[in-house]
Amino acid sequence: MINFILCIHIHQPVGNFDFVVEDAYKNAYLPFLQALSKYPRIKLSLHTSGYLLEWLNENHKEYLDLLWQMIEKGQVEMMGAGYYEPVLAVIPKRDRIGQIKLMSDKLDEYFGVRPKGIWLTERVWEPHLPESLNAAGVEYVVVDDYHFVKAGFKKEDLSGYYITEEQGHVLKVFPGSERLRYVIPFEPIEKFIEHLKNIESSLQRSSVRLPLAVFADDGEKFGVWPGTHKWVYKEGWLERFLETLNHNLEWIKPVTFSEYLKDNEPSGRVYLPTTSYMEMGEWALPAEASLEYTNLIQDVKKWHDSERIKRFLQGGMWRNFMAKYSEANWMHKRMLLVSKEAEKSENPAAINCLYKSQANDAYWHGVFGGLYLPHLRSSVYENLIKAENLIEDVKNQPPIAISEQDFDADTHNEILIKTPKFNVFLRPHSGGGIQELDFKPIAYNLTNCLARRYEGYHHRVKTQGNGGAGEGTKSIHDTVVSKEQGLEKSLVYDNYERLSLIDRFIKPGAPLSPLSVDDLQTGRFEEGGDFVGALYKHEFRNQNSELVLTRNGIVFGKPVRIEKKIYFTDDSLLRIDYQLANLDASPLHTLFCSEWNILLGFGLKARDMGSMEEFELEEDWLGLKFRMKLNPCANLYTYPIDTVSFSESGFERNFQGLCILPCWEINLAPGNACKIELSIDAASLV
């Protein structure tokens, strides 16, 4: 006899498109539960993330009604987690406990049950977790057997559950089978039976009383992943799987985690290292290292003793994403800032917005992570800004509030200016650029752009053809297609962060070869200044209503001084005055450009818009009008910032923002200066 735990995790990111969630419901969530309900002796341990649970309650109560019936009959055990699916290890302890308790309260409200165990988001484990999980009332957690292998175990020796602790706070840990994650539902049922027989045979020869096999993975692989709906339902894989289990109950005993805990003692003690599942270690590494690690794993798989070697190989840790992507680090540190403010305010609505901002999906990138999806990043910022707005509403906030501190933990202070309409985060040490510009009335970060980076999988883009989803019997880790032709043309990389208020000096084009928007978009231009990413001095003037950023630098070998004054008012206007001074003994002839990168203008093409004194965008879907005024007139260029990334459906191009580049031709005699005025105006359309 062998125990078998079927554990399914279903989740949708906060801020995901409603039609995406609806498709997942119709193609996976509902048909899976309906199929399982016909086999009452087959048990399920189910985790449904809080955001998805709310969506189901609002849109498909029939699903919750069926689930409630299965819970009442003892067929389903509900599992908890952080409510909005945060990576628990990287949010503050108070939020970690708060999110878990919120999930438990919601399950109690909906189904009259309080969970004993939790689904660990992306199976990101760090050794300090047992203390806070214990404080939140968690008895057990499930991770991968990979975690145990990194602690020195062999997969074939694993069964049951193990005890771990932190400072005496005990937690029970189950190892889920990595092999079963690839068998179910991608291989014939015979492979599943063969795997269980092997476990039963090997472990019954040991001291284990009742061997245990645990399958714990995403429910989306049963209908959402490419090709799986056809394979799992139309071609009958799930029905064959459930029928096979039902006909083998004399030696396969389906149980829930809690049922197994009730009847079995722990198999031993373990102290797991910091890790996640195997694929996450690959994704978390820097691009070149990720590619080399992937190639190494593929090489090792061909060796006759591959498993002996693989068990001692490990990629990066989840926190590496905050080193790999500066945008992820900034979001994370902004979240920590709001968490401190929310704790002081004790405002329940603000705390709930904070919890939503901690949803893991937008903070990382792999096959699943959504850092490359602008709507998920926007959701994070929307909830952070809403939380701050709620906190400020009950505080005696001055018209203009200024603070300086190291917000992003890089050892350099940033500047935060809060006005009634804007939050402006500036980085004097990085070109005096704007890191974040929030339009508070609609809780929108205008400068939420992602730089174009090399990824370790980009070499594969050039070798993949355009195609569909691939065969249903393949895992998404094995099936790769391009969702459109010509993606390799979008493989352009930035050597700087996509901030705004970036000061550029570009060599003017000859009359027969003027500067082109294509040159700007692809980076094929000569940068003559050393101001991008450089350190600016700063000071506040006129009772803190002006911020002055200055730097003496070099432009095509000539000394040049930039002074940019930023004026803050209590309306929706942000004004910047530039003064450029030629400090050389010879004339200076150059193009000066102020680069702005904003998450607006989806669908706009690259354009040389000619001489303009005003540029305006209306975003009806946001309810926002964005206006830039230029004095004197500038030659204005705009182009989309497109990236190529990998997702569960293949390689895809994603719009990351619009680059707006006003350029002024500068002719300065020795010792002379010129003045440029630029203003940003944002207004709500409703």
pLDDT in tens, 60-99: 999 999 999 999 999 999 999 999 999 999 999 999 999 9
Distance CA 545, CA 399 (A): 10
Give the count of domains, the chain.
2
Domain with 570 in it: what CATH number? 2.70.98.10
309: confidence class by pLDDT, cuts 50, 70, 90: confident
Contact by Cβ (8 Å): 520, 639: yes
Q: Is residue 153 part of a domain?
A: yes
For residue 71, give the DSSP letter.
H
Q: Are 214 and 6 in contact (CB under 8 A)?
A: no
Q: Among 221, 253, 276, identify where a domain stops.
A: 276
Catalytic residue among 131, 157, 165, 218: 218
Domain annotation covers residue 546: yes
User: How many residues would you count in the chain?
Assistant: 686
pLDDT surpassing 90 at residue 650: no
* Cα torsion through 456, 457, 460, 465, rounded to 10: -160
- Asked whether residue 346 is assigned to any structural domain, the reply reads no
Is 353 inside any structural domain? no
- CATH code: domain of residue 251: 3.20.110.20
Of 123-132, 200-209, 450-459, 545-554, the range with the lowest mean pLDDT is: 200-209
- pLDDT for 472 equals 41
Q: Judge whether residue 468 has pLDDT over 50.
A: no
Residue that is last in its domain, among 276, 293, 317:
276
pLDDT for 103 beyond 60: yes
Q: Which domain holds residue 574?
A: 464-684
**Contact (CB, 8 A) for 432 and 552:** no
The pLDDT score that the predictor gives to residue 471 is 39
Is residue 459, in this structure, part of any structural domain at all? no
Angle at 21 (CA atoms; ends 380, 466), nearest 5 degrees: 95
Known active-site residue 478: no
Contacts of 178 (CB under 8 A, 6+ apart): 144, 145, 146, 155, 277, 278
pLDDT for 511 beyond 60: no
Of the candidates 243, 218, 179, which has an alpha carbon nearest to the alpha carbon of residue 36? 243
Q: Which candidate in 77, 85, 95, 122 is catalytic? A: 122
Instruction: Establish whether 299 is a catalytic residue.
Output: no
Please write the tens of the pLDDT for every residue from 240-267.
999 999 999 999 999 999 999 999 999 9
Sequence-distant (6+) residues with CB within 8 A of 322 are: 328, 329, 332, 363
Does residue 435 fall inside a structural domain? Answer: no
Query: Is 611 within a domain?
Result: yes
CB 404 within 8 A of CB 413: yes
pLDDT digits (tens, 9 = 90+) for 23-51: 999 999 999 999 999 999 999 999 999 99
- Rounded CA gap, 603 and 377, in Å? 19
Residue 272 lies in a domain: yes
Q: Report d(CA 492, CA 656) in Å as an integer.
A: 13
Q: Which of 276, 309, 325 is the last residue of a domain?
A: 276
pLDDT band at 179 (very low <50, low <70, confident <90, very high): very high
